[in-house]
Structure 1
Amino acid sequence: MEQGTKERSLVSKVMDGLVTGIVEEKYGAVLPPQDVLSKEFDVSRTVMREALSMLLARHMLDVRPKIGTRIRPMRDWRMIDEDVVNWRFRAKPDPAFLRDVIEFRMLIEPRASAQAAQRANAADIVAIREAFENFRSIGPDDPAHQAADELLHTRIVVASGNQFFQQMAAIVRGALSASNQLILANQGVWDEVLRKHARVVEAIERHDAAEAEAASRDLIDFAADEIGNAIPANGKHE
């Protein structure tokens, strides 16, 4: 049992190292052969084969005869997988990706907020308020800020009661991590970010579904505008 646990931990570590190399474009379009990778990571070929098979299952790699193990475009990665979500958001965000992030949030979060207003029980609402107060007390310069923001949005999505939305919470958290680094780089936006979050929370507390949905849309629109300001037309940002 202990040996099996140790091997699974080693596989996870190798997967993480491979993904880091992929998102940092260390390998180019095709991974080195398995025996080369095994030596690089100082693991057995069995461990390396298992790690590669896990990435294959997540649609991150593609094995082709006479070519080898090709790295698939990030758009093909199985984003519903929480590990894949976290790995994808490690890569430097590009304008098209950030656009997709905003569009995803606009599809999920406003409806989740409306449903939370309709379906949340007393415990859900207390949890959302508690997460908001924590979020409000932690400034954007604090290392704990990102986790506080993610917790607030996650609790709203969970309170929607929709199983599919709940499964998407990992992507919502990743979307926040990708966009916040641009939005909160502008110190002047914090008060407005806080006010817009408060509007969503207060609408949920009043069980006002229409207002909760509108407030969530307004919050995401604001994020989109700030991202647009941070990234010029050429797609580069400071």
Structure 2
Amino acid sequence: MEQTNKERSLVSKVMDGLVAGIVEEKYGAILPPQDVLSKEFNVSRTVMREALSMLLARDMLDVRPKIGTRIRPMSDWRMIDEDVVNWRFRAKPDPLFLRDVIEFRMLIEPRASAQAAARGSAADIAAIREAFDAFRVIRPGEPAYQAADELFHTRIVVASGNQFFKQMAAIVRGALSTVNPLVTDNNGLWETAVSSHQRVLEAIERRDPKEAEIAALAMINYSAEEVGGKFSAEPPTRV
């Protein structure tokens, strides 16, 4: 069992290293042969083969005869997989990816907020309030700001009670980690962020699904407009 755990840990480290090389565009379009990669990572071919097979299963790679192991476009990666989500958000964001990230949030978070208001338990709503109280006293740029924001949004998704939405929590966290650094240098952001988060919270506490959904959409639209301005691109169409 000890050897098995050690091998699993080694495979995970190799996967992490391969992904780092992919998102940093170290390898180009085609990965080096397995024996070359094995030497690069100083692991056996068995470990390397297992690591590559895990990435293949996540639609990140494609093996083609006489060509080798091709790196698939990030848009093909299996984003429902939490590891893939975390890896994808490591890469430098581009306008198309940011558009898709914000559109995803517009689809999921407003509805999750409405459902949290309609059927979240008292404990769920208290947890959202607790996350907000922590968030409201932390300024952008402080170490705990990102974690506090992610906790607030994640707890709303959990309070929705929808098992599929819960599976999407990793994407919500990744979306926030990508978008927040692009908008936190706005001088008025902190006050606006606190106000918009509070509006969502209070609608949920009042058990007002319609207002919770509208408030959540308004909160995301603000980020969309800021990101659109940063990239000189049209923000996603409001739903």
Tell me which interval the TM-score lies in, with the shorter structure as reference length.
over 0.9
2:118 is matched with 118
Identity of counterpart residues, as a percentage?
A: 76
Task: Letter of the 1:153 partner, please give it.
Answer: H
Task: Letter of the 2:127 partner, please give it.
Answer: A
2:168 is matched with 168
- CA shift digits 1:170-223 (9 cap, x unpaired): 101111111001011223211101100100001000000000000000001101
Trace 1:125-144 onto structure 2 (pairs within 5 A).
125-144=125-144
Deviation of the 1:151 alpha carbon: 0.7
1:196 is matched with 196
CA distance, structure 1, for counterparts of residue 198 and residue 233 of structure 2: 32
CA distance, structure 1, for counterparts of residue 26 and residue 170 of structure 2: 26
Trace 1:1-238 onto structure 2 (pairs within 5 A).
1-233=1-233
CA distance, structure 1, for counterparts of residue 30 and residue 95 of structure 2: 25
Deviation of the 1:9 alpha carbon: 0.4
Task: Letter of the 2:104 partner, please give it.
Answer: F
**Unaligned ranges ≥5, structure 1:** none
- CA shift digits 1:79-103 (9 cap, x unpaired): 0000000000000000000000010
TM-score (norm 1): 0.97
Deviation of the 1:233 alpha carbon: 4.3
CA distance, structure 2, for counterparts of residue 82 and residue 171 of structure 1: 8
CA distance, structure 2, for counterparts of residue 121 and residue 48 of structure 1: 46
- CA shift digits 1:113-161 (9 cap, x unpaired): 0000000111011100000111112211111111111111000000000
Deviation of the 1:231 alpha carbon: 1.4
In 2 relative to 1, CA 126–233 (structure 1 residues): closer, same or farther, beyond 3 Å?
closer
Deviation of the 1:230 alpha carbon: 1.5
CA distance, structure 1, for counterparts of residue 34 and residue 188 of structure 2: 50
The alignment covers a number of residue pairs equal to 234
Please tell me the root mean square deviation across aligned C-alpha atoms, in Å: 1.0
CA distance, structure 2, for counterparts of residue 82 and residue 148 of structure 1: 20
CA distance, structure 2, for counterparts of residue 216 and residue 183 of structure 1: 17
CA distance, structure 2, for counterparts of residue 185 and residue 43 of structure 1: 43
TM-score (norm 2): 0.96
SS in 2 for 1:70: strand
SS in 2 for 1:187: coil
Deviation of the 1:228 alpha carbon: 1.1
Task: Letter of the 1:9 partner, please give it.
Answer: S
SS in 2 for 1:186: coil
